[in-house]
Amino acid sequence: MTTATKFEKQATEVYSDRDPKSGAQLLLEAIEREGVDIIFGYPGGAIMPVYDVLPKTSLTHILCRHEQGCGMAAIGYARATGKTGTALATSGPGATNLVTAIADAYLDSVPVVFITGQVPSDLMGTDAFQEVDIVGITMPIVKHSYIVRDPADIPGMVREAYFIAAEGRPGPVLIDLPKDVANAVTTERHRWRPYPKQKPEMGTSDNIAKAEALIRQADKPLFYIGGGIAQGDGVAELRELVERTEIPVVSTLKGLGSLPSDHPHYLGMLGMHGLKAANYAVQECDLLIVAGARFDDRATGKLDTFAPHAKVIHMDIDVAENSKLRATDVFLDGSLKKNLAALDPFRNEPYEKAQVQPWRDLCFSRRTQHEWDYDGAQENAAPGVYAPKLLHDLSRRAPESAIITCDVGQHQMWVAQHCYFDDPKDHITSGGLGTMGFGLPAGLGAKLGAPDRTVITVSGDGSIMMNIQELQTLHRYGIPLKIVLLDNSALGMVRQWQEVFFDRNFSEVNLDDNPEFTKVGEAFRIESFLVRTADEVDAGIDRLLATKGPVLMHVKIDPNENVWPLVPPGRSNADMMER
């Protein structure tokens, strides 16, 4: 049965009910039918009819303390569970406060349905109180959007919205619901068209054969993997293909965990703050096998110097990525899972290991050569807590299934470089948009989506202040999120760039007037404690992991500590700066 046929059959079932119901009732019932269990939201005037019906449903509503927090929590939930997240807000500022979360979901291909209230239909376009054209504002950053004109359209519209958000390359969908439509009562249920677009199952057999031939011919092949591996449910197939071919692997920020961090064929993250072994391998390979990655500028450095000697096999569900930034020799569209499973370059001829063994030996010797010496690095760092070692030790001592959510800045790169990940769902951060304030609400969303897993949020003193109000959400619902706050009294990544590239002209990066974060945490009734010295780290990690409820570990670190290596903007990935 095709997806379209399934959709049509389900739609027929939806429209069998002819009881008089309001648009708000129809909306929430349709959301329930999609299997949604949790909605993150914040009420207001235009969305009030929906909140009037909400207590009569089976849905669990989480009241975040800012609409951006609602959106980020829905993203964290979606990324931890693989389901489609749901966020709800009112019109005007409620809707505009969701915009950053919508953009984050769009750039990181996360399935979330965002529902906004709107002023009554007859007031739209009149500059009414709390009216904005949220559909127009978000047009470039959604997969699809709707303005509801008739309550009879709602059941089919909701079904299609969740289908579009999750199908193909996932992303956000917006439903804008005018207040009069939410209040209107109808006995009608309009039949909704099945969504017609269907992605191909996998690349053509000819292209599979061409890709296999390129792999057989290569002397220096390399896998370059991204977030599409997890989103395409291709983790197991990738690992099996890597085991069969023994080809080295590098990863983007969002691809972390697709291979375990200690996998023998894994070289680490590539790019601006990538590891040396990974960046050198990309620059010297003669075949780049790209799976679920999009040649992002933070990964490639100066694009025309990226993998300059390599032919390219590119696998992606989005055909728009084909040769968008880098010319592709073979493009395999459709399901990453099926394309990875189909690739078997040595099925009909013997695998000549000697052909690529010198390349493997070089790659893996570099990985060993540039392995991080945490004790030695700490000795050369300033006195106090050395953040990379703390994060390394924390990730090794946390339960195997732990999830780390992360904000944006130096701590984000330290997490990527030094934490251990066994699965891509173990690492949740804002990649494409680089959103400060992401980590705390994403962490609470992830914990609600995966209640049996330990969830740790790593934040910085700049980032946490952007959505610190969500500490109250943790307290209200007793969400046992574990927060590690790395405090260097600065906007660390901006300060580092000003030090390295702007002649130490430090402009508006000093945060030495930060609040006492432990007292802030306690004011929100969150258990909080301070770690100042290296000697206190082990006990601090023990306390963090042992605490049953929400907990904040405030860690003071050296404001002058930088993230290394660093590829300067506009330079080749081979040109890495060091301490």
Task: Specify whether 130 is catalytic.
Answer: yes
CATH 3.10.20.70 fits 382-556, yes or no: no
> Do residues 286 and 247 make contact, with C-beta atoms less than 8 angstroms apart?
no
Overall pTM > 0.75? yes
Please identify which of the residues 21, 83, 143, 179 carries the catalytic annotation.
179
Q: Are strands 185-186 and 21-22 parallel, antiparallel or unpaired?
A: antiparallel
Task: Specify whether 67 is catalytic.
Answer: yes
Task: Specify whether 269 is catalytic.
Answer: no
Task: Specify whether 421 is catalytic.
Answer: no
Please give the CATH number for the structural domain made up of 3-186.
3.40.50.970
Structural domain spans, the chain: 3-186, 205-369, 382-556
Given this chain, do its domains 205-369 and 382-556 carry the same CATH topology?
yes
Predicted pLDDT at 348? 67
Predicted pLDDT at 74? 98
> Do residues 214 and 287 make contact, with C-beta atoms less than 8 angstroms apart?
yes
What the block records as the tokens of 559 is 């404001």
- Mean pLDDT split into 10-residue runs, the chain, 579 residues: 36 57 97 97 98 97 98 98 97 98 97 98 94 97 97 95 94 98 94 64 84 94 95 94 94 95 94 94 96 92 93 94 93 92 80 78 92 75 85 95 96 96 96 96 98 98 97 98 97 95 94 96 98 95 97 96 92 89
CATH 3.40.50.1220 fits 205-369, yes or no: yes
Predicted pLDDT at 372? 86
Predicted pLDDT at 182? 98
Please identify which of the residues 130, 355, 469, 472 carries the catalytic annotation.
130
DSSP string, 395-437: HHHS-TT-EEEE-SSHHHHHHHHHS--SSGGGEEE--SS--TT
Q: For the chain, how big is the Rg over CA atoms in Å?
A: 25
Please identify which of the residues 413, 493, 553, 576 carries the catalytic annotation.
493
Predicted pLDDT at 527? 98
Predicted pLDDT at 350? 57
Predicted pLDDT at 2? 33
Which residues have a Cβ under 8 Å from the Cβ of 296 and sit 6 or more positions away?
A: 252, 271, 431, 432
Look at residue 576 and give its three-state secondary structure: coil
Predicted pLDDT at 6? 38
Identify whether 565 is preceded by a cis peptide bond (ω within 30 of 0). yes
Identify the residue whose tokens are 């299997």.
Answer: 35
Predicted pLDDT at 377? 67
Please identify which of the residues 9, 13, 56, 129 carries the catalytic annotation.
129
Look at residue 533 and give its three-state secondary structure: coil
Predicted pLDDT at 371? 87
Predicted pLDDT at 16? 47
DSSP string, 448-471: HHSTTS-EEEEEETTTGGGSGGGH
Give the whole-angstrom CA distance, residue 323 versus residue 312. 10
Task: Specify whether 201 is catalytic.
Answer: no
Predicted pLDDT at 194? 65
